[in-house]
Chain A
Amino acid sequence: MDFRKAGLRETEYEEIKRVLGREPNECELRIMGVMWSEHCSYKSTKHLLKLFPNEGERVVLGPGENAGIVDLGEGLGAAFKVESHNHPSAVAPYQGAATGVGGIIRDILALGARPVASLDGLFFGDPERARTRTLASGIVHGVGGYGNAVGVPTVGGKTVYDPCYNENPLLNAFCIGLIPLDEIVSSRTARPGQAVVLLGSKTGRDGIAGAAFASVELSEDNKASRPSIQIGDPFAEKLLIEACLEMKEKKLIVSMQDMGAAGIISSSSEVAAKSGVGMILHFDKVPLRAENMEPWEIALSESQERMLLIVDRPRLSEVMKIAEKWELDCAEFGETVEGDEYTILFHGERAASLPATLIGDRCPQIHWPSRRPADLEARWTFDVEDIPLPQDWNEALLSLLSSPSLASKESIYEHYDSMVQLNTVVGPGHPVNMLRIKGRDSLIAMTLDADPWKCSLDPFRGGAETVARSVRDLAVSGARAAGLTDCLNFPSPEVPEQYWVLEECVKGMAEACAAFNCPVVSGNVSLYNESPEGAILPTPVVGTVGIVPSTDATLSSGSWEEGDVLFLVGPCNPSLGGSRYLLSQGRLEGRPLPFSPEAEKDFVERALKTASSKAAHSGRAISGGGLAAALAKESMESGVGAAAAVPVPTRKDVFLFGEGGARALYAVPMSRVPLFKTLWSGYPCIPVGRAGGDSLSVEGAFSLPVAKLLTKWRGR
């Protein structure tokens, strides 16, 4: 078989031959082709990901594991990760989304953690297009259909619309789980002489070579790609969750791995390589549900709802009993051995024999050429004088609020069960989502964020801003960011300008992470998100997790009360460059503000103190849509209007719609104003108005009844 047909590059083929000391057979070629695809090996980005800081005092487990874990204190850890399922969602939106959710849940489960919440990152094209509506509907129903049935609440997310996603929708699924630190199941603890066990659904031909599919651009005729789609069964996954956790409680599991991309081969070789053991697998013992499957098909199948377990022989019967109770297939199909050899036997024949470490780890890195886009400065050229002030301020605000990316997402999240498991303190529709931890005072705060437009204008600044936005949101709510997980959604790295953008985004994100002491504990990369219609904007997504010591130390959004003084903290010179306001006029230009580490860190400390000392009734960090959007959202959520004014000589539209920098809008009761001013003394802080009445008005700009804002924003 030609190595190219297996998806291998010449250098990769040569490296395999060199290590093996012989020609690989067809089964081995197919296996290596998938395991060394971009999706599985991260060959184009591994060296870039090393730029992320991944250590910190709360980091228990960093990148390279099933998920990252941060210490929540008192012996409890939070495991979390975000993963993309973009290409499958473009071809079969419901199942692509469903299996994306299922896959990330299993990653969390593989550490022995109970999945407690999900967030969904959705990136759709132009909503006027029928195709976008079809894709969006399928994806949303897939997220809900799977998440609701499996009993993991979807408590928040991020939904973005832009024409660049027309044929390349993105689905980033984030999941978080809880695990006592002394019960973490590792993939490094297998020893020779143990049993390799497959638990879960039978293996079929689903998604064969799907991992390689994720690394290929979508062709004109994506109907032909259909056989590669996996089908998800949330009922089976719920049984799998309960069975695995029961086995973990009884300490029956030595090591565990979820079967996602490249199923059996990926999970088993990873455990082998990380534990430093070899494996002999008998593929004829794998429970199958399709006929005449070849060894390479069994190896690469992406049938869902399966886990790989390493079990001590004496405890196998107990494992089987639990599997039987939950009516899951459970089969011992191999053993761990000394050494590094990974062998697949099939009906007495040796189908493949490769070093375990070669399969998952030693793919030659690719350093694609990188070139700064020639038109970068041109994009930044932006004269604010070119932008006319709004003719009708009210229309301008309403239009911004009803723009697809800013409008209420209630029609999406009301399809998600956000309450199951009884931990949701702040659910969907808020800047930060919060979970309580039963039996404790502390809460977990989370947010999912992205800003592809700023990333496309200035990748370094955009990457930093993406991280900064999430950390600011958490700080205003009272949570200190403990760690984040990232998903890098980008087009092809083989175009030098696009590769440069990827590099710069990562560098910007890394700088912000370092400044905030917020390490990257896990993550995912999805490249080749483009089609003949075009490439997506650079879309790094971050899922940031923080901890609040008690409900007392939280500050909610949307809690204005009559008479509160409204304060804007932060620089008064934001930028319209890359702002939602300009975008809503069809313009993507300007240069986002630079990342100022000292100011950002200062902001975080003061925001945390504001929350813990209860110096305000309500707070919201300024992000998409600028101060105007923040005023409107606070007002709508509170049900209270405001009388505000622009107290500085800055152009009104820049002041109201500009974005960038560490800024927030607070509503402070009269009695707490002196305390508030003290907490923010030394940082830009100006009063901008008072809350009250049933209209939101800014002198010389807009004035609208709150009820009208709500109707337009909710679209119903």
Chain B
Amino acid sequence: METHLLPGRRGGREVIHRVSIFIELQEGVLDIQGKAVERSLVSLGHETLRSVKVGKYIQVWVEGESAEAARREAERMCDDLLVNGVIEQFRIEVEGE
């Protein structure tokens, strides 16, 4: 696995939490990719398909005293950069929570 794990910044024996961030377009925002994928799947014979939404999956590995602290840090990252609040929404899962 090729990951770029940075050395621990604060020393100490912090635990590293793997946080999964699922980002998708808000309701009402045109999901063209979703529509295109839907058309392709249907044309390949997936008749039971009703709808497709295409989103993003980002994993961050975060040092933290607790899963809760890691979650809050991830939320701040979403606010700062990872999510465009005008058109996107997100949910977070912390491994082991």
Contact = CB atoms under 8 A, between A and B. Distances in A.
B2 interface: yes
Interface string B61-72: 000000000000
A543 interface: no
A510 to B, nearest CB: 48
Contacts, number: 4
A290 B2 CA distance: 6
Contacts of A290: 2
Interface in A157-205: 204
A289 B2 CA distance: 7
A204 B2 CA distance: 9
A291 B2 CA distance: 8
Nearest to A291: B2
A57 B2 CA distance: 52
A487 to B, nearest CB: 34
B78 to A, nearest CB: 23
Interface residues of B, number: 1
A290 B3 CA distance: 9
B43 to A, nearest CB: 12
A473 to B, nearest CB: 39
Nearest to B4: A289
Interface in B1-37: 2
Contacts of B2: 204, 289-291
A289 B5 CA distance: 11
Contacts of A291: 2
A247 B17 CA distance: 42
A290 B1 CA distance: 8
A202 to B, nearest CB: 9
Interface string A278-292: 000000000001110
Interface in A247-299: 289-291
Interface in A204-234: 204
Interface string A91-128: 00000000000000000000000000000000000000
B11 to A, nearest CB: 25
Nearest to A288: B2
Contacts of A289: 2
Nearest to A204: B2
A470 to B, nearest CB: 39
A301 to B, nearest CB: 13
A367 to B, nearest CB: 45
A145 to B, nearest CB: 16
A232 to B, nearest CB: 17
B4 to A, nearest CB: 8
Contacts of A204: 2
A54 B89 CA distance: 61
Interface string A289-326: 11100000000000000000000000000000000000
B36 to A, nearest CB: 13
A130 to B, nearest CB: 11
A205 to B, nearest CB: 9
B46 to A, nearest CB: 18
A204 B3 CA distance: 12
A290 to B, nearest CB: 6
Interface in B57-86: none
A415 to B, nearest CB: 16
A291 B1 CA distance: 8
A289 B3 CA distance: 8
4 contacts: A204-B2, A289-B2, A290-B2, A291-B2
Closest A-B pairs by Cβ, 3 of them:
A289-B2, A290-B2, A204-B2
Interface of B: 2
